[in-house]
Amino acid sequence: MAPINVAIIGTGIFATNAHLPALTNSPYFAVKACYNRTKAKAEEFAQKVSPPLKVYDELEDAFKDPEIDLIDALLPVQFNLDAVKLAVKYKKNIVIEKPIAAHLDQAKQIVQIARENPEIFIAVNEHWCYLKAVIELREAIKKIGKVVGFNYHSTGSFNFNNKYLSTTWRQKPEHVGGFLSDGGVHQLALLTSVLGNVQSLNARTTQVRPQSGDVDVVWALMKLESGVIGSFNYGSAFGNKEKKGFFEILGDNGSIYYDFSPKSGDRFILRTGGLTAESEKTEVEKKIENENWSVATEFEKLGLELNGNKGNITCFPEVAFHHLALVDAMVKSSAQDAATVSIEKP
């Protein structure tokens, strides 16, 4: 199996701390080159591996390079569309970082380009789609009867030392919803990967921290396409509080309580029974060992997918479009006094 030669475009914090280690430690990939609009940053990045990476002078050079099989794009999201267009022009496979785009018009174009060019592999890096919890919760749902509702909650204190706050494109976001489409899409990826797509919602958003650049908290009520109803609360902009994340799924014959708070260590409780007065009630707790919170599993699945093992990658443009469309709907609903907003389709 020949390695897949990769060019990394955008050599910032996440490329350095997450993508480069994952790719270099994978048997499927060989990182060969890099690009950054500030060439000195790319040159510094290139020295982090041996032999040093090739450094391009222009973005388009990465796509022109005949040695490269895959573009790993970690750009400010408003440039994702331009990168996808170049990938199609030069027939290069490409993965772009979440969210899919800055706004839905760009996202729709990316979806359309992917539909019209099926020979080009185009996917969105969203590693929460590949959490072990997705598989575990889908399996557990089969045991709680008809799913009726859910509560999804993820809140935390504001981190003044968050290294990602220093990035200009986050401080002055062009992407809809600011932090909601930056960090919130992770949560929405988990929610929809387990329960399916959302049909409509009512939401209230607010901005707590000026450093966020835009709204950073949302409280929403949702109706899924399946008819399931539930709540979605997200924000890490508060004062001193315990970081808390849980996903409760309620059925007519049981419930699931998944706790992914840092102190809880990724575990869920499955309770069954209650459909009738006579039905037996059970309770089982299960810990999810070594959850895939890093991007390593995502790239492992990408390597398998690009080597012909279809079905490993799930976050294609249409899926990532839905995540961004949810944030867009939250912002629109809040601006209309929490009016019901239907989720746009690509």
pLDDT tens, 202-240?
A: 999 999 998 888 899 999 999 999 999 999 999 999 999
Q: Which residue type is seen at 244?
A: K
CATH fold for domain 129-294+324-342: Dihydrodipicolinate Reductase; domain 2 (3.30.360)
- How many CA atoms within 13 Å lie on the side-chain side of 225? 11
**For the chain, which residues make up each domain, given as ranges?**
4-124, 129-294+324-342
pTM confidence score: 0.95
Distances (CA, A) of 331 to 72, 183, 238, 273, 340: 30, 15, 19, 39, 11
What is the CATH code for 4-124?
A: 3.40.50.720
Rounded to 10°, the helix 317-335/184-195 angle is 110
pLDDT tens digits, one per residue of 142-190: 999 999 999 999 999 998 887 766 666 666 778 888 888 888 999 999 9
Q: Judge if 4-124 and 129-294+324-342 fold alike in CATH terms.
A: no
